[in-house]
Structure 1
Amino acid sequence: MVWLPYTATRRQRAATACLFLTGAALIVAAARLSYANIEPQRAKAAERRRVLEAFIRRKLGSESDHQQRQDPPPTKPP
């Protein structure tokens, strides 16, 4: 069974290659931007967790039961 009954022309192959390379470049750019934003998101999540834990400790009054954990301050990415 033949998928296409004709062979692609040189121009069609060039267009296919250009579209493929454009798609690959977009995927690489999106992955790079996503990776660059990981650390700020982690820092925000860690700060929210610390605030929530402190709030729960205050509400439950269990500060004496648990040692208060001192996390190092978040570092800024280079």
Structure 2
Amino acid sequence: MVWLQYAATRRQRAATAGLFLTGALLIAVAARLSYANIEPQRAKAAERRKVLEAFIARKRAAVAGAGDSHSSHSQPDPPKA
């Protein structure tokens, strides 16, 4: 079974090719912009991770300092040499 019973005109083929190339160009531009923005996003994520790790470390230090020595949050004693 044939999808179209007639051959496309020259104008229709040109329009199809033009739309296809426009779509391919838009995809290429979007990919380029996406890759151009990767490094700033990674830098922001790394900075957020550092801030969060520092916050958690401060909270752990506060909990360990405020609790008694048998607290479940305290650090284990280092091995004796």
> What TM-score results when the alignment is normalised by the length of structure 1?
0.78
For structure 1, the residue ranges without an aligned partner over 5 or more in a row are 66-78
Q: Which residue of 1 aligns with 2:23?
A: 23
Alignment of 1:1-78 (within 5 A): 1-61=1-61
Higher helix share: 2
Alpha-carbon distance in 1 for matches of 2:41, 2:16: 37
> What TM-score results when the alignment is normalised by the length of structure 2?
0.75
Larger RCO (CA under 8 A, 6+ residues apart): 1
Bigger radius of gyration, 1 or 2?
Answer: 2
Query: Runs of 4 or more off by more than 2 Å in structure 1?
Result: none
Per-residue CA distance 1:10-64 (angstroms, 9 max, x = gap): 00000000000000000000000000000000000000000000000000117xx
RMSD: 1.1
